[in-house]
Amino acid sequence: MVKKIYSGCICSIYRSPKEEGMYLYVDKKNDLESVPEALLKRFGKPELAMTLLLTPEKKLARADVKRVLEMIEEKGFYLQIPPRPDEIMQELRNKNTLM
């Protein structure tokens, strides 16, 4: 079965006050209603970082936009967790070798 990917959605992106680099992406029309209470408790009081139109062609800094759209469609939200220090170092190495 082929998964249908949203052609796009207006997405609200919330920042976690508890953990640097943790973001919650939700469809603006449903907002936080699909996010489990346990996750919201760990996440902290969501702080709106931005609202934008997400499409499969859009580039995101730390997430695959198609995966984000897929998860919003399936679960109603996408949780972006901060990269581990070794992932950050590998990303820097990769960028430096391209220069």
What pLDDT, on a 0 to 100 scale, did the predictor assign at position 61? 85
Parallel, antiparallel or unpaired: strands 77-80 and 23-27: antiparallel
Which domains does the chain carry?
9-98 (3.10.510.20)
What pLDDT, on a 0 to 100 scale, did the predictor assign at position 90? 63
Note down pLDDT in tens along the chain; length 99 residues. 334 555 788 999 999 999 999 999 999 999 999 999 999 999 999 999 999 999 999 999 888 999 999 999 999 999 999 877 665 566 667 767 765
For the whole prediction, is pTM greater than 0.75? yes
C-beta atoms surrounding 77 within 10 Å: 24
What pLDDT, on a 0 to 100 scale, did the predictor assign at position 1? 37
- Pairwise CA distance, residues 73 & 25, whole Å: 11
Give the helix/strand (H/E) hosting 67.
helix 65-75
